[in-house]
Structure 1
Amino acid sequence: MPSPKLALFAVLGTLVFLGLAVLGWGGFGAFFAHPARIALVAVTAVLTVASLFSGGNISPGEREDRGNRWVLIVFTVLGLLGAYVPAWTDRMELWTLDGDTVRWLGVVIFTLGGALRLWPVFVLGRRFSGLVAIQPGHTLVTGGIYGVIRNPSYLGLIVGALGWALAFRSGIGVVLALLNLVPLVARIRAEERLLADQFGAEYEAYRQRTWRLVPGLY
């Protein structure tokens, strides 16, 4: 179980995120008038509850790259914009993609992205930190999905953000989701430097046979 402080942070963060979406769509009645948006909230709630049992943390551990903390601010800003703007553009019919098929496709993609985001956290447990840090007893995990890509949780973040935007048919939301790649790549590079310094040739060999995010692409 997570600490009460971390659990409170996760729950409040989710409530703020969903609250901004509801505000963007003009209130509770308008927001919950469509089943796709109800499904989106339900999936978000399930993912939040699941995250409380994942073992992830925000500990600086034994060693941390504090110079990379700026990405957390960028992620927060993009997250808040990503919560509100797609809902608002959906309501205003601004740069939207037509059809309920897009909405439900977005819900499915959001669900898959959220699952991919959490799955590696359960695999790593206490070794997964919201900070770029080496945790006590830190070891490399190179099997399963980690035998193909080195950052599956980050891929899940991008996929989930794209799904959220599509659930609101928002072209602007898609752009905001893709903007997450800027701080994400910076974070990946910082993590790779830290892991290479910690594990040396073992990590270099692992890096040579895997991809960062998308097999065959990056």
Structure 2
Amino acid sequence: MTPSPKLVFITITGTVVYLGLAVLGWGGFAAFFSHPALTVVAIATLVMSVVASFSSGNLSSGEREDRDNRWVIAALAVIGLLEAYLPAYTDRKGFWTLDGDSVRWIGVVLFIFGGALRILPVFILGHRFSGLVAIQPGHTLVTTGTYGVIRHPSYLGLLVNALGWAFAFRSGVGVLLTVLTIPPLIARINSEEALLHAQFGAEYDAYRARTSRLIPGVY
């Protein structure tokens, strides 16, 4: 595996900014790390960032890219920044919060599970995984394992991870922001599937016919 220096930089920088905004929203390091559940979330975030840095994922436009879909990256970035700060802030202020400290720990479990599901496909796809909607050199379909059940496990992981973050802060606003993540993700999925159909034709159609997009047997 040869990590992309650009992707490593973006991953690490993004993680620092994300956690920094959460700490700021909560009112400082001492207050943030006084909560065991939030401490676990912070540690898990750092661990996942380091692990992701060792993948072969990239930001290459490859041999063929759907450039019209790049707006999704900007949309998800804006939602991500809001999701980093607002759940922590609303938790501290007691605004639209979910009752019970157990909600935080449910959030921790969802956050870690979703993060693992988000990262695992990056390692499975290797150089074929790009932050852009693109066909890479030597691109082939992966149709086994998790991909034998759902076609976009990484996006499902992103949603579960985001929901877990919201629950860790007991934040109704965080749940709403997770819901707002769905439209740009669906647009991204539509773009990816159109590109894969154009590249692989009947092979991709057959694969698509026997699998679900995100939730087995549902969607």
Give a deviation string over 1:51-82, Cα, whole Å, max 9, x none: 01121111100000000000001000000000
Distance of 1:87 and 1:187 partners within structure 2: 28
Separation of aligned partners in 2, 1:3 and 1:197: 27
Aligned pairs for 1:93-108 within 5 A:
93-108=94-109
**For 1:74 and 1:203, how far apart are their aligned partners in 2?**
28
**Secondary structure of the corresponding residue to residue 98 of structure 2:** coil
Q: For the Cα contact (< 8 Å) 2:98–2:171, is it kept in 1? A: yes
Q: How far apart, in 2, do the equivalents of 1:165 and 1:179 lie?
A: 13
Give every structure 1 segment of 4 or more consecutive aligned residues whose post-TM-superposition deviation is greater than 3 Å.
none
Contact 2:4 2:56 in 1 (8 A): no
Compute the TM-score of the two structures, normalised by the length of structure 2. 0.98
Matches within 5 A, 1:150-165: 150-165=151-166
Which shifted more, 6-15 or 148-157?
6-15
- The yes-or-no answer on 1:75 pairing with 2:76 is yes
Matched residues, number:
218
> Which range moved further: 156-165 or 96-105?
96-105
Separation of aligned partners in 1, 2:201 and 2:8: 35
What is the rounded CA distance, in whole Å, between the counterparts of 1:103 and 1:59 in structure 2? 37
Percent identical: 67
Secondary structure of residue in 2 paired with 1:138: coil
In 2, Cα distance between the equivalents of 1:4 and 1:147?
31
Distance in 1 (alpha carbons) for counterparts of 2:217 and 2:142? 21
1:208 and 2:209 correspond: yes
Q: What TM-score does the superposition give when structure 1 sets the normalisation length?
A: 0.98
**Partners of 1:70 and 1:147 in 2: CA distance:** 29
Q: Which amino acid aligns with 2:22?
A: A
Aligned position for 2:40: 39
List aligned pairs for 1:49-128, cutoff 5 A.
49-128=50-129
Deviation readout 1:167-202 (Å, 9 max, x if unpaired): 000011001011110100000000000000000000
1:8 maps to 2:9: yes
